[in-house]
A = this chain, B = another copy of it.
């Protein structure tokens, strides 16, 4: 850590501060500059409360040298984490993971058909929401436990592993046979939920919050890993910016930036980012070309009758063409680009 001292700090004040810091087992390296004094702290700073240092009246600013996340950090774990679920391989770069399905589970017939369709298109994981986070209390909130039941039937019939969002710890028992649990963007900093999920042994897909920085997102992943869960998947789904021409702004740079910072796999959700079905294809292509480990796309048999997020859903026939193209593009990029 580096402390920038305020102008006019006296020698006596510095001495007292340094003694306090040395008492924490740190070595002190003051640098007297022309205008200001900065102090480097060397040692195990993981026990040093950066808040306390910042609250010190002598302190103008405190900056970290090391990242605050440990288990998700690529420096601690240089090899890519690779997660295998059914036929899907998530992470590592060799394969592209395709996740597809409706925004919300609506009926047995719907799920049966869609599961068969997306499997035929090459998707390895089936998505579907049973518990839906909706901005309005008057909007369709999902089928709840019955939705999970329909998902499980579709899993059985299709053989595809399934992913679904958990919003409330009290619902955890329903998720026993769900293969991957999703934490939604609005719950990315629901720390009670994160802590509980870090104790289970299923993969967790953690969506980025609408206004979460890379560091906050990684810290939430750190929560999920803090009790031993090692199978965390990061999912970029668009951030909130001033631009209203798209629902959210897909932050494509997240792929290469996170690739450097963490060993965890990174999935892109172009459907939620764009909010419009005709933007899904170009964004999905961009994601693959930028190195994403997978793409999660909303598919609905009848988008205009969808109970949720119809405008951004693809018809199964569109998805089929897109999935084939994305696989081809992934193979091309893997084999031809450096």
**Is B52 touching A42 in the complex (CB atoms < 8 A)?**
no
Residues of chain B contacted by A29 (CB below 8 angstroms)? 29, 31
Name which residue of chain B comes closest to A220, CB basis.
B135
Interface digits, A154-172 against B, CB 8 Å rule (1 contact, 0 not)?
A: 0000000000000111100
For A31, A52, A243, A251, which residue has the most chain B Cβ atoms within 10 angstroms?
A243
Within 8 Å of chain B (Cβ to Cβ): is A229? Answer: no
- A residues 23-58 touching B (CB-CB < 8 Å): 29, 31-36, 38, 40, 42-44, 46, 49, 51-52, 54-57
Which residues does chain B contribute within 8 Å of A199, judged by CB atoms?
none
Q: What are the residues of chain B within 8 A of A305 when measuring CB–CB?
A: 52, 55
Alpha-carbon gap, A66 to B51, bound state (A)? 22
Stretch from A87-95, A107-115, A277-285 contacting the other chain: A277-285
Please list the residues of chain A having a beta carbon within 8 angstroms of any beta carbon in chain B.
2, 4, 7, 29, 31-36, 38, 40, 42-44, 46, 49, 51-52, 54-57, 63, 65-66, 68-69, 75, 133-141, 167-170, 186-187, 189-192, 195, 209-211, 213-216, 219, 222-223, 226, 239-246, 249-253, 255-257, 260, 273-274, 278-279, 282-283, 285-291, 303-311, 313, 321, 325, 328-329, 332-333, 336-338
